[in-house]
Chains A and B, each alone.
Chain A
Amino acid sequence: MSSVNKVSLSIAVAVALLMAGLATSPVHAQTPSVTASVDRTDLTLTDVLSLTLRIEGVANVHPLPQAPVISGLILVGTERRSHQTFAQGSLSAQFEFIFKYQPLRTGSINIDPINVILDNTVHITDPITVNVTGASGAAQSPTGGPPQPTSLVGQDFFAESEVDNETPYIGQQITYTLRFYSANAFSRPIYDAPDFAGFWNPGRSNEEESLANVAGRSYRVTEANTILFPTLSGALKIEPTNVSVRGGLLGSSVNQYPTRQIDLNVRPLPTGEPDSFTGAVGRYSISADVDFSTVDLGDPITLTLTVSGEGNMESLPAPEWPEVPGWRAFDNDAPYQMSIVDGKVQGSRNFTRVFIPSTSGSHEFPAVEYSYFDPEDEEYVTLTSRSFRVEVLPDPSSPATNPLLISEETEDAEAQAIRYIKPVPGSIGRRTSLLTTSSIFWMLWLTPLAGILILAVFMAYRKRPPAAVTVEPNAATAAALARLSTAEPGASVADTASMALHGYLDIRLQRATSGMSPTEIAESLSQLGASSSARAALVDLMGRIAEMRFSRREVDGSDEVAHEVQAIVRTLDRELSE
């Protein structure tokens, strides 16, 4: 075994042993234990009680235990810690859940046993009793001001929220303030703001930081203000804001510090609103202006009413515009600008309306009234703008108002006179019936088809097979027989028979057969359907006739040659006709 292999084997054995050791670690061998404890049993109304739920003997905790609801105490914060140690060959895990409460009353307060489920087993802690006294002064009011120095004893973090007016009028501005006290300079709070249901939130909030020395300890106080306008009357609530702070080594734990819920009673606007009131709440002033005091008939003017002051500019309602006789009116844009000054929403909004005169003359634009409800003074206020006078000039393009225009129009008319008539044309077109409506016209388009058909028939005719040999069999036979019976002067029987036979074959084969051998003639007849016996007889006969002709002598049976020719002609005639 090489040294390399030895090293590898050693490493493998060591890893295996380590894994075996880990697999049998005491974490799994331990019995889970759950205990609850408090940092003090005697406390005052301003103290914060830390209830620690400690879990040991498990690798992880799931589900996470929830903060118990304790009568007489209110939850003001949570914290979570975990420790894992490996010592003397065993792994030790410990989880701590710290719930921080503030007393709501004095006297004895019982903390009931806490149920924790671990590995499908319910673990129950022991009950705890704490005693609350009021000896250290007034308790921290949940809706009160900043916590007193003694209330922050023993706390690194604390969150509180409040509104500046818990009984506002609908549409009145209120400010929601969140304060977070932090003794840890490196912790940065993260806010989980409520949705502010029932409020119009312009999304503007400022955040300020300050330092406070409380009970000899320095705190960084972060204050966030959110401006709200109630949009509903009646009971409204603002859900708690959760402030989260990362803690532990390298931010391994997250501590949450919820604020209390804030309940508001939003009052409806009082009755007795003026006619010009359209829903504005706040404190405003108005001004009005018109862009032209003299216009031509048909030209528009724009009346602008500017509303300035404190209030919700974005939802500021438009005024009740007066009807102006002789003018057509159209609503226009209403741009606004808004800012926060000293915690109050301020700004202005320009309501514009376009008017178009339909008659000329001097027109009086009445004053525009604008009413609002002042929640500070709890009364309706009506403002009135100034009135305007607008002169509308007659239409300059109208001839009735511009005598000069008449002559101009006359000149235009002359300039635009129609062009003169045309002379008589050389030929005048006549209305004719359309060729496309004639059936003959469309039939002419089909004549190529007829040409194609004729051509096709003709081509087929030309290419027909030479079946014409059977066309005149009787004529051929008759000619042959006639030639046999009428021998030419000086011709021998063989010559006559040869001429008759070739004459017949010439007609049958449609070609001259005198130059063909008997075998070639037989082959041609074979293509026409002659039997082999007939062909053999023909070859034999032609051979004998040739012999008779070239020998120049009468051989035996020469008289019968004529009969044989007749017979072979009739035989071929029959066979070829079939």
Chain B
Amino acid sequence: MRTGTLLTLVVLASFVLVELVAANDSIDVEAFRNANLLYESGNYEEAARSYEHLSRLGYQDATLYYNLGNSYYQMDDMGRALLNYLRAKRLAPLDEDIEVNLSLVREGVGTPGSSQERPISVLAQFAGWVPWVSLNGAVLVALLCWLVIWAAALTLIWNRRVRHSLALRRIAVVAGFGLLLFGFLAVGNQVSRNHWAETGVIIARSTDVLEAPNSRARTEVNLDAGREVGVIETRAGWTKIRLPRTELEGWVLSSDVERVIQEEL
């Protein structure tokens, strides 16, 4: 059992290592702190600009998005506030502060509760229960477990002297559980990622949903800022959206809607 425990510790240690490597050590703490000071002094526009700058530098952090959402909320820009709260929620789905502020914004835009929230799959919810495991971390640990399983199996087959080794068998079993767990987490992370990549928020004060990607097309409905929509495709400055829980689809200007996850998958 000592071997199994040792292997479990190794797996966890590797996970922590992966996460630490994934995190950025060269943080611009000073810029973040300055942004917070701007917010506290009531200079919400400058604070938002500073947070946005950090985001453009490649930082992707729940606290960053949360504070950015607060800044937009104070600026009465409910669309961008909602968008950044959703981004924060994606990274920290169990954070109560994020959930409270998100609910307030949703009520403010006239869609209280989660009535407009797009339903998310069970696998993604599973991944959300352990938000500290990133997609990269999960797939790396799963790979490690996979390699350990095969190494143990091949050793058991090849080396007659260790063929009946209990320790090797325990290693293989522990690695198997690790592979299963982190495999599910990886899949859930990916599904969640796809979900958020297909979720957008109307950031314009008001936008017309048109039947076709053409400014002369008939207007189907008009949406106000803060409306959560499903994003189907983007084409030449136009984005095709779908209203949650309805069959209504239409085109809006791409500048009027923004995805929760912007980068390419």
Q: Which residues of A contact B (CB under 8 A)?
A: 416, 418-425, 427-432, 434-436, 441, 444-445, 447-448, 451-452, 455, 458-459
- With an 8 Å Cβ cutoff, the count of chain B residues facing the other chain is 47
Within the complex, what minimum Cβ distance (angstroms) separates A381 from chain B?
52
Is B101 touching A428 in the complex (CB atoms < 8 A)? no
Q: Which residues of A contact B150 (CB under 8 A)?
A: 447-448, 451-452
Within the complex, what minimum Cβ distance (angstroms) separates A11 from chain B?
86
Task: Determine which residue in A425, A429, A444 has the highest number of CB atoms from chain B within 10 A of its CB, and name it.
Answer: A429
Is B147 touching A435 in the complex (CB atoms < 8 A)? no
Is B70 touching A455 in the complex (CB atoms < 8 A)? no
Question: With contacts A422-B66, A424-B36 known, what are 7 further pairs, Cβ within 8 A?
Answer: A421-B39, A422-B67, A423-B36, A424-B33, A427-B23, A448-B150, A451-B154
Q: Which residues of B contact A (CB under 8 A)?
A: 22-25, 27-29, 32-33, 36, 39-40, 54, 58-64, 66-67, 70-71, 73, 91, 97, 100-101, 104-105, 135-136, 139-140, 143, 146-147, 150-151, 154, 157-158, 186, 190, 263, 265
Within the complex, what minimum Cβ distance (angstroms) separates B35 from chain A?
9
Chain A residue, CB-CB nearest to B140: A435
- Rank and list the top 6 A-B pairs by shortest CB-CB distance, nearest first: A448-B150, A430-B24, A431-B60, A429-B61, A421-B67, A419-B97
Q: How far is the CA of A448 from the CA of B135 in the complex (A)?
A: 23
Contact (A424, B59) CB under 8 Å given A432-B136, A436-B135, A455-B154: no
Q: Which residues of A contact B263 (CB under 8 A)?
A: 431
Is A430 touching B32 in the complex (CB atoms < 8 A)? no
Question: Is the contact region of chain A dominated by helix, strand, or loop, or is it mixed?
Answer: loop
Chain B residue, CB-CB nearest to A451: B154
Q: How far is the CA of A425 from the CA of B62 in the complex (A)?
A: 10
Is B101 touching A452 in the complex (CB atoms < 8 A)? no
Tell me which of A425, A435, A441, A445 contacts B63 (CB under 8 A): A425
Q: Which residues of B contact A448 (CB under 8 A)?
A: 146-147, 150-151, 154
Q: How far is the CA of A421 from the CA of B68 in the complex (A)?
A: 9
Q: Which residues of B contact A441 (CB under 8 A)?
A: 139, 143
Is A418 touching B23 in the complex (CB atoms < 8 A)? no
Q: How far is the CA of A455 from the CA of B150 in the complex (A)?
A: 12
Q: How far is the CA of A418 from the CA of B59 in the complex (A)?
A: 24
Q: Which residues of A contact B32 (CB under 8 A)?
A: 424, 428
Is B60 touching A429 in the complex (CB atoms < 8 A)? yes
Q: How far is the CA of A418 from the CA of B67 in the complex (A)?
A: 11
Q: Which residues of A contact B60 (CB under 8 A)?
A: 429-431
**A–B complex contacts, Cβ < 8 Å, 21 sampled:** A419-B100, A420-B70, A422-B97, A424-B36, A425-B61, A425-B63, A427-B23, A428-B23, A428-B24, A428-B59, A428-B64, A429-B23, A429-B62, A432-B22, A441-B143, A445-B143, A448-B151, A448-B154, A452-B154, A458-B158, A459-B158
